[in-house]
Structure 1
């Protein structure tokens, strides 16, 4: 009798578990948590692959986000001043490689419009001096920080614009959002042809200046620079630097660690991307000695 009862209990438990699985796939999800469970279960059953699961999760995450959650903050916005000449703009254009820039008048709270680099190049290549930067501007789309990201993506697609300026409740500019920022939430970070230049972890730029990917493993960095950063503190040099700052640093911020100066040369609102590393001039370049 006991064995029959035991078999019966196991059978009931298995049936109950199967009933739950069946209910997930046959019943309509009641909320987002139910939908997440359906997606995770589908991945476990190999109905969808991991990439599809990640994208579906990204779509669900976007549905809960506001513009403030994904915007490039004001401090990291690359802008052009309305009074700048083409020659004055070029260093900024070459450094950032963006396709469009907000154009400001005096400060970032006064947005005159959006400049598309292709519009600028068209006039620059013509060699004409009879044009004004103001004449090339597209209207700036202004949105509140509370704007739903899924609704913004729909507007981007319907109205065919790619950038929106985010303002706070007082009308001050707090950041910007591009269509790429939204898509990255769904499919992961999108790299372009310029990002391939960063495949080399450490690149010597001058006698004491190096360009270093923030994703460079700590052991590789230590070996190259003769430093002793703790691999248990972080796996990458970007993690070491971020921990030392104690906050997400802005582009241009510097910090000194183990006789090296680290300058943030590229970052977004989520992570460090590229660092400039400067050796103190009194530091002996051991790699040069080894070559001799």
Structure 2
């Protein structure tokens, strides 16, 4: 019989002289790990059972020749000795030889490379030949039973005991060695060992039911039955020879033990044939890789970064060709669409590396929708409260904003670096006061050398107090206050807690490279809940106007998500949050005035630039553009005068020929 190759015993068991029948199993009846440390059950081994590696061609040829030779010797002894049980043992060996022959054919045909007609390989042909081998075993087992029945009905008068007994004694010795090696393989797969042969066999009898590999389990059962068959045949012919002389059985029934043994050996062969048939038939009926393998694959994929859930897992076992895995996974909502392909390829590579028997991995990606579902449910509950007059209409949006507040990051609400007014640390008090008056802010970030080296902030209160004590040319460096620095992806709910803990109202925001990205203020956080807080010193940024029914003129700083909600647009808001950023990204280069880009049925045209920034965009639609949220209208303010009149300081504005389009 071929080596079961358990973890520590895979080299211990050789092809023995009785060469048991070969089991051709699908490649994934056990989990195929590349490292033992990852085995979820430390008490079990995780051997590699890829069949083409397990059973080399040379080993199968040796098994075939050994079975033919042993079977021929048993056949010779059976013909000379005229014992049906000896003939049954010969049939047993020839059944093993036929099984090995079918295995050779199956290995040859099943190992062919995949092609257009068989995209997943020819591995199932190996299973087909194993099925044929099991059918032959059923036929030979039936023949053995018929020999026993014939022996029972037609007793021979002259049997030669010595030849049959000698051959059976030799077989028993060889089978004991085979059983010992199979038992060692069973214990090794369980991480156990024992130097005492008989204790090894006894412990294996208790442990074999826990063995993961069906191949190892079958080898132990078959070798044990082969030993019992040879022992039974020896006892039977001995009883037939000497039983009448010692008075155990009447002389006219002396052939009964031999006939009985022949029938039992035939039943053993039939039982093995049925076992092989059942365990190989699953490979031809579209079977899966099994619950154990699927559980390990599911757990492994779920632990890969970026995968939030494995919604469905299907496997198809193609025998020697390996397993085809179909995964339906849910990805992290923070992963950009453009990165999903990279993630699926990463999952595919990881599964191939971890599970060697996996041939193909097909992945279906589903967007993570749980947050959106919860948001919709929350909004429905709030709206129901408004309908039942439990919640005031003015409170509805505030409650929705509270939910959104828990979902947003600092990067969503910060003032970007390009809009932040800063002052250099070398400035004096007079210059700082002038800068504060010019900008209208009560706080300014202070930098050293460049904006990526922010050292803190300076406040109007501090400057005014210092001017009463120090000369106007006094440096502001000693007045700079330290301020918290936070990453862009920090939840704004956590930032609010930091403001409360530090008793501060402003924070610096840095990107993943440590560069200055912008600032976030307490006012920005509060406005996320209560809405825009009027400040006469604030510049109008998020303006929007509708010159015509099918046209909008919008600030480049306007949030795309808000536009989509109000007007039913489908402008992508994953990589860019502002309309100007989207236009910049779609163009793929620095925009210029009158540059236009089409998205679905919309035409987006650049109307004005402020340096490198898109300052105004015209949205043209083939249909009338209607605000879908009339209770919270966006179009309530006229265009800023600098855009309406075409008089912009430090801004590139459309020429006279386009000015009329704004009215």
Give the one of 53, 58, 66 matched to 2:396: 53
1:128 is matched with which residue: 452, 471, 478? 471
Separation (CA, whole Å) in 2 of partners of 1:51 and 1:100: 32
Once residues 505 and 416 of structure 2 are traced to their aligned partners in structure 1, the CA distance between those partners, rounded to angstroms, is: 17
Change (3 A) 1:36 1:231: closer
Measured after TM superposition, the shift of residue 134 of structure 1 is 1.3
Superposition CA RMSD, Å: 4.1
- Using the alignment, how far apart are the partners of 1:125 and 1:231 within structure 2? 58
1:62 aligns with 2:405: yes
Give 2:453's aligned residue: 110
Please report how far the alpha carbon of residue 181 of structure 1 lies from its aligned counterpart in structure 2 after TM superposition. 0.8
3-state SS in 2 of match to 1:101: strand
| 1:278 match | 647
State which of 504, 528, 551 in structure 2 corresponds to 1:233.
Answer: 551
For these two proteins, the number of residue pairs brought into alignment is 216
Who is 1:96 aligned against?
A: 439
The equivalent of 1:174 in structure 2 is 517
Aligned-partner Cα distance in 1 for 2:428–2:451: 18
Larger Rg: 2
**TM superposition shift of 1:91:** 5.1
Q: TM-score, length-normalised on structure 1?
A: 0.60
Query: Quick one: distance in 2 between partners of 1:117 and 1:108?
Result: 20
Alpha carbons of structure 1 residues 184 and 39: separation in structure 2 relative to 1, 3 Å:
same
1:58–1:186 contact (8 Å) kept in structure 2: yes
- After TM superposition, the structure 1 = structure 2 runs for residues 175-194 of structure 1, keeping only pairs within 5 Å, are 175-194=518-537
The Cα of 1:65 is off from its aligned counterpart by 0.8
Partner of 2:174: none
Q: Which residue of 2 aligns with 1:6?
A: none
Q: Distance in 2 between matches of 1:214 and 1:164?
A: 23
- The answer for unaligned runs of 5 or more in structure 2 is 1-372, 559-578, 586-590, 595-606, 618-638, 657-663
The answer to whether structure 1 residue 37 and structure 2 residue 380 are counterparts is yes
Take 2:517 and 2:414, find their aligned partners in 1: how far apart are those partners? 8
1:81–1:194 CA distance, 2 compared to 1 (3 A): same
Flag the structure with higher strand content.
1
| Distance across 1 between alignment mates of 2:610 and 2:468 | 33
Deviation per residue, 1:188-220 (Å, 9 max, x gap)? 11122435x98xxxxxxxxxxxxxx9748566x
SS of 1:176 mapped into structure 2 = strand
TM normalised by structure 2 equals 0.28
User: Is the CA contact 2:428–2:474 (under 8 Å) kept in the aligned structure 1?
Assistant: no
Q: Distance in 1 between matches of 2:414 and 2:543?
A: 23
Provide the residue aligned with 1:20 in structure 2. none
**In structure 2, do the counterparts of structure 1 residues 93 and 34 end up closer, same or farther at CA, with 3 Å as the change threshold?**
same
Residues 1:262 and 1:36: Cα distance change in structure 2 (over 3 Å): closer
Alignment of 1:134-145 (within 5 A): 134-145=477-488
Aligned pairs (5 A) from 1:136-215: 136-195=479-538, 215=543
Cα distance change of structure 1 residues 68 and 189 upon mapping to structure 2, 3 Å threshold:
same
